[in-house]
Chains A and B, each alone.
Chain A
Amino acid sequence: KQEVTQIPAALSVPEGENLVLNCSFTDSAIYNLQWFRQDPGKGLTSLLLIQSSQREQTSGRLNASLDKSSGRSTLYIAASQPGDSATYLCAVAPRAGNNRKLIWGLGTSLGVNP
């Protein structure tokens, strides 16, 4: 059974720091992995999607990597800003099953202090 874990659950950094958020999954048979951002009480915004055949994706100050063999993904945020404060969720699309539903981590709550 696929399980997704995100560590740490919460992280607080000063503005300007580079930081890495971690996501691990137990079954490497996936179609893709997605990183989302969620602001308090609000919806989810897709940040990056990495297909299983890819190693990384970049968007602005964000870079996500995928290592399927070790079951790990990282989200790198460069030069963090207070506006980056949010909860970051990762989700995998497993190959097993007909539903093709996403399997979610519980998220990392990030606070960037001015």
Chain B
Amino acid sequence: EAQVTQNPRYLITVTGKKLTVTCSQNMNHEYMSWYRQDPGLGLRQIYYSMNVEVTDKGDVPEGYKVSRKEKRNFPLILESPSPNQTSLYFCASRKGGAVNEQFFGPGTRLTVL
């Protein structure tokens, strides 16, 4: 089954404790991205990747890191999480080219205390 998977689905952590949210897709998509969703602000892009070893900042990159060492994986790293990073996070992927449909993972609910 074609899908985007994220882990963990739910995470409660404390300020400053490094964490990684994994994202993997099995559709051989070139383009992957991370979004956060907050009430009243909608979906905002954090980072994106056009292909392996090619990543760039989205609208709200502060406090996040990403890497793209393999085509299928695009982990999101929070080196020192803070309470304002409490949010619902989504990973997405699509084939290269802007006309293609975007597929989303199930989301990761992160709470930083």
Chain A 37-52, CB-CB to B under 8 Å as 1, else 0, gives 0000111111001010
Query: Would A42 and B107 be within 8 Å (CB), given that A100-B31, A106-B40 are in contact?
Result: yes
Contact of A43 among B99, B101, B105 (CB under 8 A): B105
Give every chain B residue within 8 A of A36 (Cβ-Cβ): 104
CB-based contact A31/B99 at 8 Å: yes
Contact of B98 with A by CB under 8 A: yes
Q: How far is the CA of A27 from the CA of B107 in the complex (A)?
A: 29
* Residues 58-109 of A at the B interface (beta carbon under 8 Å): 89, 91, 93, 95, 99-102, 104-107
CB-based contact A100/B98 at 8 Å: yes
Q: How far is the CA of A32 from the CA of B103 in the complex (A)?
A: 14
Query: Would A46 and B42 be within 8 Å (CB), given that A99-B48, A100-B31 are in contact?
Result: no
Contact of A34 with B by CB under 8 A: yes
Least CB distance, B60 to chain A, in whole angstroms: 12
Give the most central of A31, A46, A102, A106: most B CB within 10 Å.
A102
CB-based contact B43/A41 at 8 Å: no
Contact of B102 with A by CB under 8 A: yes
Interface of chain A: mostly helix, strand, loop or mixed? strand
CB-based contact B99/A44 at 8 Å: no
Chain B 10-43, CB-CB to A under 8 Å as 1, else 0, gives 0000000000000000000001010000001011
Chain B 55-78, CB-CB to A under 8 Å as 1, else 0, gives 010100000000000000000000
Give every chain B residue within 8 A of A89 (Cβ-Cβ): 42-43
Residues of A within 8 A of B (CB): 31-32, 34, 36, 41-46, 49, 51, 89, 91, 93, 95, 99-102, 104-107
Show 10 residue pairs from A and B whose CB-CB distance is below 8 angstroms, ordered by the A residue.
A31-B99, A45-B104, A46-B101, A51-B99, A89-B43, A91-B102, A93-B98, A104-B43, A105-B42, A107-B42
